[in-house]
Amino acid sequence: MISRHKIRELAVQSLFSIETTKDTPEEAIASTMQLCDLTTEAVPDYLTFLVSGANEHQEELDEKIAKYLKNKWTVQRLSRIDRAILHIGLFEMENSLEVPKKVAIDEAIQMAGDFGDKDSKSFINGILSNFVEG
């Protein structure tokens, strides 16, 4: 069984793949699971939920993220990995009743440390925390 943390990592990697290759969510998930040597595992429903949902609601998520960007930054100017992390984190916060918002933020911050650059953790924390505070 794949942990929720690993599912979130796979979701971020799959969204990144979609943006890079224009694959469908299903293709991106399959490719990501293959790259992570997880082809013997069943695709977790929660992974499909996160990737398909964040991909489908990308424009809405971008609008929400844009509200908290400063100094005339645009969503398009963000790194692809930061955008993917924000999309997964924000989508999960808005659509998963079983996951507390603080957990979604903490998971996003951890992934920013694993996948992003040196400023990603504080940036992701700021955007998602501001979103919660509204």
H/E/C letters for each residue in the chain? CCCHHHHHHHHHHHHHHHHHHCCCHHHHHHHHHHHCCCCCCCCCHHHHHHHHHHHHCHHHHHHHHHCCCCCCCCHHHCCHHHHHHHHHHHHHHHHCCCCCHHHHHHHHHHHHHHHCCCCHHHHHHHHHHHHHHC
Fold type of domain 4-133: N-utilizing Substance Protein B Homolog; Chain A (1.10.940)
What ranges do the domains of the chain cover?
4-133
Residue 8 is predicted with a pLDDT of: 98
Q: Is the pTM of this model over 0.85?
A: yes
Q: What is the mean pLDDT of each run of 10 residues along the chain (134 residues)?
A: 96 97 96 95 96 98 94 91 98 94 96 95 95 84
Q: What local confidence, expressed as pLDDT, does residue 71 receive?
A: 84
